[in-house]
Chains A and B, each alone.
Chain A
Amino acid sequence: SQQGEEDPQALSIQEGENATMNCSYKTSINNLQWYRQNSGRGLVHLILIRSNEREKHSGRLRVTLDTSKKSSSLLITASRAADTASYFCATEPRRAGNQFYFGTGTSLTVIP
């Protein structure tokens, strides 16, 4: 399977702390995306980083990509209770383009 894998599976932090979650994948990619899912609802796109980019920012989100290690990280700074959700990475493999492969997700709980 080309599915990515997030780490940790679950993360619990206090409001105001930073949250870091990681994604590892197996094959060369065109791009990597991060999504957020509130319990039982549809996924919402957060950020896309292309294979030739190393870092990207969007508000309180910072994403890094290391293609040599086939890994990415998502940092949420100054977390809020409303950030409580599951976070998924999705890759578009270069060889098998036109498909997204999602990881199994990190469940983040931000305690007020």
Chain B
Amino acid sequence: EAQVTQNPRYLITVTGKKLTVTCSQNMNHEYMSWYRQDPGLGLRQIYYSMNVEVTDKGDVPEGYKVSRKEKRNFPLILESPSPNQTSLYFCASSSRTGARLTEAFFGQGTRLTVV
């Protein structure tokens, strides 16, 4: 079954304690991305990756890091989480047709609370 898997689904952590949210896709997609979803603000892109070892900042990259060492995995790293990073996070992957993206497949989300 084609899917994007995020872990964990729920996470409560304290300010400053480094954490990693994992994301894995089994569709051999080149393109992967991370979003955060906040009430009234919709989905905002944090980082995206066009392929292995290629990552770029989205609209709200501050306080986050990513890596793309393998095609299937795209972890999101919060080196020193702060309360304003409390949010619902989604990982997504897409294939490309030429220079254009096709439909995005989303993970089930990670609800992060930073206290």
Contacts and interface: CB of A to CB of B under 8 A. Distances in A.
The answer on A and B forming one complex is yes
Contact of A105 (B42, B90, B106, B108): B42
Interface in A72-96: 88, 90, 92
Given A41-B108, A42-B107, A42-B109, A48 B42 contact: no
Contacts of A40: 88, 109, 111
A45 B31 CA distance: 16
Contacts of B50: 98
Contact of B104 (A1, A3, A43, A97): A43
Using C-beta atoms within 8 Å of the partner chain, give the interface range for chain B: 20 to 34
Contact of B100 (A31, A43, A45): A31
A100 B33 contact: yes
B28 to A, nearest CB: 17
A99 interface: yes
B109 A41 contact: yes
Contacts of B100: 30-31, 92, 97
Contacts of A43: 43, 90, 92, 104, 106
B99 interface: yes
Interface residues of A, number: 25
A90 B21 CA distance: 24
Interface in B69-115: 88, 90, 92, 99-109, 111
Nearest to A89: B42
B59 interface: yes
A12 B31 CA distance: 36
Given A41-B108, A43-B106, A99 B42 contact: no
5 contacts: A30-B99, A35-B104, A45-B105, A98-B101, A103-B42
Interface of B: 4, 31, 33, 35, 40-45, 48, 50, 56, 58-59, 88, 90, 92, 99-109, 111
Interface of A: 1, 3, 30-31, 33, 35, 40-45, 48, 88, 90, 92, 97-105
Q: Which 3 pairs across A and B sit closest by C-beta, in order of nearness?
A: A42-B106, A104-B42, A102-B43
